[in-house]
Amino acid sequence: MSEMKTSDIEQQESKSTILTEEFALAQLNDGLQSKTFTWNEIRAGDCHEVSGTVLLVSDGRGKFTCTTWTDHTHSGDVWHASFTVLDRFGLTLFQFGGFDSPRMNDGGPRYPWEADFNYPAQHFDAAVSITQYSSC
């Protein structure tokens, strides 16, 4: 029986901040507003996330979408994501997440996935940036 090395079981964590300039405000047909936050590729260990998007709707609904994959795994990797939403002063408005990707295998498949959430709608106007905390 072989022993696992600490480095084999450690998860690498990544932190990615979405800057204020990277969100788009839109007026929806039903009179609600939305903000869309997007970012470029994030890596954690041998895992990748691309097309990361958070949509906030002014009524307190939200959606996170992305595509993930892994370069190498023997047991199936899982991307873990949680988020902190900040105001223009860098103060935390609210947090959400604890989302997990589908179990990923290496060899090239990409895994598009999404997660719905609710948040305190009174913070919609003040939300200007999001920090994603991720590990794989």
CATH number of 123's domain: 2.70.50
Quick one: CA dihedral 66, 14, 82, 62, positive or negative? Answer: negative
Q: Give the count of domains, the chain.
A: 1
Is residue 131 one of the residues assigned to a domain?
yes
pLDDT in tens, the chain (136 residues): 333 333 333 445 566 554 444 566 667 777 889 999 988 899 988 899 999 999 999 999 999 999 999 988 767 889 999 999 999 999 999 999 999 999 998 776 899 999 999 999 999 999 999 999 999 8
> What is the three-class DSSP state of 20?
helix
Domain that holds residue 73: 12-135
Is residue 29 one of the residues assigned to a domain?
yes
Say how far apart CA 44 and CA 71 lie, in whole Å: 11
Is residue 103 one of the residues assigned to a domain?
yes
Is residue 126 one of the residues assigned to a domain?
yes
pLDDT by residue (tens digit) across 116-130? 999 999 999 999 999
Instruction: Determine phi and psi for 134, rounding to 5 degrees.
Output: -140, 150
Is residue 25 one of the residues assigned to a domain?
yes
Question: What pTM was computed for the model?
Answer: 0.82
Is residue 7 one of the residues assigned to a domain?
no
Asked whether 113 and 102 are in contact (CB, 8 A), the reply is yes
